[in-house]
Each structure stands twice: as structure tokens, then as C-alpha cells.
Amino acid sequence: MLAVRNLVLPIALLGLYTAHGYLNTYFEFDPQYRKAWLISFVIVGSSLVYAWYYYDSEVHGFRRRKWLNIAVVGLAIFAIPYYVFQSRGKGQRRKAMLYLSGYFLITFACVGIGKYLAAAEQIRQDFRSHHPCPSTGKTHGPCPGYVIDERDGPDAAPYMQWQTKEEATRKDRRE
């Protein structure tokens, strides 16, 4: 059961980092909610990191020290590599550190993916605010019978247009 928790918690952290990248970029335009989001992220993220540390130390029989517990919550970027190095046997240290380095790289990639998704959503919202739905005339909500088509070019509102669902289906078949 402990081994399953050791997999679930890092995966949950990756989801949290992806959400962080998305919401941090999304709320960049609305600072009213940004501070609350960042505080929530730190609390939830620190809790997940500590939970992983707690269960991992149980699996490896590592005696947790008070100062390391505090460091894992407050300075995880430094404390976790130290913990991983100290908690593994001599033959496992290199492999564990490589896994940890790979995990850090994946974490940064998840934040980047979240930021990209938020920026793309912001561009779509910008397009909708200047080009109301052809069937409802509204700048928000569903647009029955239409989809937003991205023409060739960079991800930007000038390269988008409304297209009927039938036209979009035909275009997708051709491409």
C-alpha cells in the first residue's frame, strides 16, 4: 500500500504543477484572485511533498529528523535531493538522483504546458470578445452550429474565424 502512495503523490503533484502553470497565467490578467491561488498552491503543494516524504521514508526505513521535516516543507527544492541521497543505499543513490532529476524536468514541462494552455484559452477569449457568436450574438457561452477555426499562422486572434461545424468537418477531412 505504501508503494502505491509513493506513485500517486508524485502524479498528483504533476497535476498540481500543470494547474499551477495554467491558473498562474490565467489569473495574471486578474490579480484579484492571483494571490489567493498562489497561497493555495503553496499549501497544497507543500502538503503533497511532505506526504510523499513521509511515506517514502517509511518504505526506506529512514528516520525523519525534525529539521529535515521543516526543510521538506519550506525548502523542498533543496531538502528533497538531500533526503533522497541520504535515504538510499550506496548502490541506489545515483539511480534515485537521476529519477529525481527527471522528475524535476517533467515538473517544469508540466508548468510550461499549463502556461501554454492558459495562453491559448486567453487568445480564444480575446477572439470571442471581438467576434460574437454568429448564431446567438453573444461573446460568451456555447455557440450552436459553429466552432472557432484557427487558420494558418501563429496562435493569435487575427488568425481565427467562426466556421460552421459542417465546414470544419470537411476541412478536417481534407487535412
Q: Give whole-number Cα distances, 173 to 4, 15, 145, 150, 169, in Å.
A: 43, 33, 18, 15, 6
Cell numbers standing for residue 86:
541520504
25, HSE (Cβ side, Cα atoms, 13 Å): 18
Mean pLDDT, rounded, of the chain = 83
DSSP string, 35-67: HHHHHHHHHHHHHHHHHHHHHHHHHHTPPPPHH
Number of Cβ within a 10 Å radius of residue 16: 18
2-9 mean pLDDT: 67
Report whether pLDDT(48) > 90.
no
Q: Which of 67-76, 123-132, 152-161 has the highest mean pLDDT?
A: 67-76
- Cβ neighbors of 72 (< 8 A, separation 6 or more) are 49, 50, 53, 79, 80, 83
User: pLDDT tens across 119-147, in order?
Assistant: 888 888 888 888 898 889 888 888 888 88
Q: How far apart are CA 138 and CA 17, in angstroms?
A: 33
Q: How far apart are CA 157 and CA 119, in angstroms?
A: 12
Instruction: Identify the band that residue 5 occupies on the pLDDT scale cut at 50, 70 and 90.
Output: low
Q: For position 30, what pLDDT does the model report?
A: 67
How large a percentage of the chain has pLDDT more than 90? 12
Q: How far apart are CA 23 and CA 58, in angstroms?
A: 34
According to DSSP, residue 151 is labeled -
Model-level pTM greater than 0.75? no
According to DSSP, residue 138 is labeled -
Instruction: Identify the band that residue 67 occupies on the pLDDT scale cut at 50, 70 and 90.
Output: very high
Q: For position 127, what pLDDT does the model report?
A: 85
